[in-house]
Structure 1
Amino acid sequence: MTDKSAAKTSSKAGKTVLVTGAAGGVGRHVVRAALDAGMKVRAADRFPAADALEVDGLFDPLTDVDWRFAELSAADLDALTQGCDFVIHAAAIVSLSESYTELAGVNVQLVRDLYRASQANGVAHFVHFSCGAIYEAGPGFRNESDRLSASNAFEQSKIDSEQVFPHQPETTHWSILRPALVYGPHCTKMGASITTLPPLVRDIMPYLPGITGGPRTNWCYVEDAASAALCVLDNPAAFERTFNVADDTALGFGEVVTSITEAYRLEVGALVPFPNTTLWTALSPLIDHDIVFDIARKILRRRWRRLQEQQDLNSPLRPRVDRNALFYVEKDNILGADALKELGWAARYTDFREGIVETIRWYQAHDWAPRFDTETQVRIQDEKQSLGFAFRTRFEGQWVDEKTGDTAPVTLLLQTEFPTITRLALDLEGNIDGKLSIGGLVEDAEIRGTIQVRLLSEGGVYWEMGFDDAQGNPHRLGLSCSVNPLRPLDALTHVSGDIKDANADVVGHVELSYHMRSQLLPSMATFRLLH
């Protein structure tokens, strides 16, 4: 495709296009592509503009487009299409679990009614998104002239939707796009549900096996579906034609799942083959029952909700286990997109394994998918085992005045809290408060600060606290000690640090100790658990 600057000089610039399903995964990117082409966009969806604001900067539905809130199956389509030069119809019910009757009103009748309204209002070109899974299964690439065959009600509704267009229209030209499984940012349907599988498996296993083989298919990145619509729009070479939209790389279902696993940066174990056709044939009588899929669906969705709660996700993604989806793991469905390429279209991602990395990153950045970085996993473990403890200690010693060299006694009474502890091997951070007396400087000053235990990384304990002297001048006291992991309590017999004033100048040096024999039992008596 041309770049944005070239697109804005095209014949489409300044003209008005109606985009239906504008809040959906494909529709949002079609709107963005049309705006980049310099077009005026009338965006229609069943969501109000305020509910469609989360488009990650693709466009502002309140200012960038003419947003029309409409349930299209009951809308005034004549008013919706008036003044439009083009229509790109991306709205549909995408579901493998609905009956044909439930799908046909939107997926078939709406297409017919919207096209008729477009004809009546002089729309020049109507681009319709169909589906690339409607071909009869067979070896090799599926081309646009190959025989169609539905495996479920959704596919049948898409086949029937294509039949509403006349072979030789008197007014409004049409083009049909048949995208492969669409994936990418903002996508929630069909192929997007597969992205939930690796996190679900990882939730119960330390690593996921690498899967190879399986039925092969190619995919369609969502921006590539949108750019295909702009490529054919108002292009005489595309009138009354149908086009496949797909990348160049056919992958087995096993490679797809493994690619998603790697995009999450999860560890992949030993390779195992995807069940072959013979095994699927043997298993089908056992698993091809509604009750089996109902149970599996409930289990996966329950675990997915738990994952969302653990990571504070607000994800529209859902694991899908549909009986009507068995076709997609039994037979090849590889689309050839040469016809579209002849018009100048080119995919941004020619390989699913490249595009899925950006997709997972987007999902994670928008709290649609779990993260598996160390920080997040430690936080989850903290929350799972949100157990902490608190105790009191008394340090005594002396300090040396930096100016005079005089010494005076020091007493430090500390209340220490570690709010969350998961395992002893981890470094710890906590809060401290208490009372501090420094001879000649302050008596019973309130202190607040932090404690850091760095047994593994640095082999020490560090205290930082602030207090005001008798005249109200702020000071800081930093203490530290080295720790032998085999004898950690011995470290407390020698704690040292500096007192600094508000200018960070050292005003004195402190040496403290914890009298194990006299203080251990009193400290243990103050020990309490935090929940």
Structure 2
Amino acid sequence: MKHEKINKVLVTGSAGTVGNYIVQNLLNSGYEVRGVDIRPTPTNEFSNTPTDKLEIVTGDLTDKEFARKVVEGVDAVIHTAALLDIALSYKELAPLNVMAVRYLYESAKSNNVKVFVHFSSGSIYSPEGILVTEETPIRTKSPYEQTKAESEDLLRVLGTDRKVPFVILRPGLIYGPRGRFLANGFSAVPAIFKYLLGNKVPRLEGGPKTNLVHAEDVARAAQFLMETPSSWGREYNIADKTILSFGEIVTTNLLAYGLKCSYRIPVPPPDYTKPLKPVLDTDYFFKIINMPLDFAWSRLCNEFGIQPYLKPKLDRETAPYMFHNVIFSTERLSRLGFEFLHEDYRKSLPEVMNWYIAHRWIPANEEIPPAGGLIPRIGLKFSEKMSGNYKLLKEASTDTHEPIPAQFSSNGKELPIEFEIDAVAPRIERFFFNPTTKIRGNLYMEGMGNHHIPIEGTLDIPLLTRRKIIYNFRFKSNDGKEYRFSGEKNIKFLQLIDTFTTLPGKITDIHGKEVASATLHFNLRRDFIPFIRSFSLTR
């Protein structure tokens, strides 16, 4: 219902996915609208929307004079404009995400604006409880989140005189037409999967849970709060009521694209991934995850003439949704009487996917050849280093097969052992179904000689089916006798770091007789970054 004291509304970021919806909704409600963006606001999709009351202004809100002037003559401001690219630094983000808020709000006070509606982010919370409410503590984890939290604080300071009331929206992950970042990147995943895997696409199941929100509902909530004076001066979470796991979100995109999932991949729940957060929540981890996505997306866009607007990647903004359940409570908004149009991501996503296809942001399913995929022609390689101690077993000295070489005997003492391996999976597609790599490298064992001994073998990584990492390699001692090392990391998700970095193993002779035991460790502090950097794709 149109607010009786508000006639003209300024909408910043009017060319964006939420801003575009806000403009349409306001016009349909009878408001005059001034839409502002750094790029022209598209109106060709306003098929049933009157545009005679629409004023489009193109300009840069980081320009202080422009930002102040654009507020003149309006009764309300809905400020959605922001830089969302998490890869940018605080210095790059702050001019628009913080300073433009100051310029706009100060001008709103000078022009007697009735209300200032400001868009923050649901990512600024520290999700430690079951539900994220508006009272959940704020803990920023990236420059982007820092700018959003600072913009909120800025409004509270500037608005202490209550001359212009403000209301703050904290949306969950937003999806919808024209969206480029965050949850919208999932819409590019099906095309990438088919391009890489052909028709053998997995069904992901489980993992941390969250509730997303359609851009249209975010836009409707912004207008609703603008028109509801009892809401002013408070913060509001915006998210739908359907709680989905990470696996369900990815699979929903695959199905909406028209793919059939032929095998199942479970995604670990938060209790399993939390222990690894210090390791996984790093730039190098995201580099590994994003490497095949970037590689495939770039090739796919070039090959099919796709506009590379979508950003299919995982980053620090999406990291909380990988390690925690981030479930937003919208009770505060619901008590005011707001109702969602899009209550279920699974039902609303197909329409969004069709928009991306129609506007050439992703190729249609049928454009991508079904057979083979790109991955069968791509391999993966990485390196690892582990070190520890080995000890000759006492009963090995009574071996009736062959005497133990003198240099192999340690008289019951623990001696150093270390290996460095290069692991190669020639075809990633096969690795998904049979996660075995060939390894080559060098072994050092004190007592066997003080030089590196060549080793060859296999590394099996059936983490999803057996929760193990299995090492097997053979080597020859200095006198030419052959031995074999075998060891297993038994991964326990509640002790993830300890079990991932510890390798118990044994050394046997050519007859299978155990002659020594060994325990090796992966040094996280020293070797993790070189380990991550070693990952690369091969052709």
TM-score by length of 2: 0.64
Cross-structure match for 1:22: 14
Q: Please tell me the residue identity of whatever aligns with 2:61.
A: L
Cα 1:234–1:277 change in 2 (3 A) is closer
CA RMSD, aligned part only? 2.6
User: d(CA) in 2 for partners of 1:58 and 1:168?
Assistant: 42
1:29-48 pair list within 5 angstroms: 29-47=21-39
Cα 1:157–1:23 change in 2 (3 A) is same
1:214 pairs with 2:204:
no
Cα 1:72–1:283 change in 2 (3 A) is same
Cross-structure match for 1:53: 42
User: d(CA) in 2 for partners of 1:31 and 1:127?
Assistant: 14
Q: Which blocks of at least 5 consecutive residues in structure 2 are unaligned? A: 373-539
User: d(CA) in 2 for partners of 1:64 and 1:189?
Assistant: 30
Cross-structure match for 2:232: 239
User: d(CA) in 1 for partners of 2:47 and 2:83?
Assistant: 23
Kindly provide the CA deviation profile for residues 179-206 of structure 1, in whole angstroms up to 9, marking residues without a partner as x: 1111011111211112212221221222
Cross-structure match for 1:334: 327
Cross-structure match for 2:96: 106
1:8-407 pair list within 5 angstroms: 10-12=2-4, 15-47=7-39, 49=40, 52-53=41-42, 56-57=45-46, 65-76=54-65, 77-166=67-156, 168-205=160-197, 206-277=199-270, 279-280=272-273, 287-294=280-287, 296-323=289-316, 325-373=318-366, 376-377=367-368
Q: Please tell me the residue identity of whatever aligns with 1:104.
A: A
User: d(CA) in 2 for partners of 1:231 and 1:360?
Assistant: 27
State the shift of 1:309 in Å.
3.5
State the shift of 1:377 in Å.
4.5
Contact 1:14 1:38 in 2 (8 A): no
User: d(CA) in 2 for partners of 1:292 and 1:331?
Assistant: 17
Cα 1:211–1:297 change in 2 (3 A) is closer
Q: Secondary structure at the match of 1:325?
A: coil
User: d(CA) in 2 for partners of 1:238 and 1:285?
Assistant: 39
Cα 1:70–1:272 change in 2 (3 A) is same
Over alpha carbons, which structure has the higher Rg? 1
TM-score by length of 1: 0.64
Contact 1:14 1:40 in 2 (8 A): no
Deviating 4+ runs (over 6 angstroms): 58-62, 378-381
Cα 1:284–1:333 change in 2 (3 A) is closer
User: d(CA) in 1 for partners of 2:369 and 2:320?
Assistant: 40
Cα 1:304–1:64 change in 2 (3 A) is farther
User: d(CA) in 2 for partners of 1:322 and 1:247?
Assistant: 23
Q: Secondary structure at the match of 2:230?
A: helix
Cα 1:312–1:12 change in 2 (3 A) is farther
User: d(CA) in 2 for partners of 1:185 and 1:14?
Assistant: 28
Kindly provide the CA deviation profile for residues 457-492 of structure 1, in whole angstroms up to 9, marking residues without a partner as x: xxxxxxxxxxxxxxxxxxxxxxxxxxxxxxxxxxxx
1:453-468 pair list within 5 angstroms: none
Kindly provide the CA deviation profile for residues 367-424 of structure 1, in whole angstroms up to 9, marking residues without a partner as x: 1122113xx346999xxxxxxxxxxxxxxxxxxxxxxxxxxxxxxxxxxxxxxxxxxx
Q: Please tell me the residue identity of whatever aligns with 1:82.
A: E
State the shift of 1:271 in Å.
2.6
State the shift of 1:102 in Å.
2.2
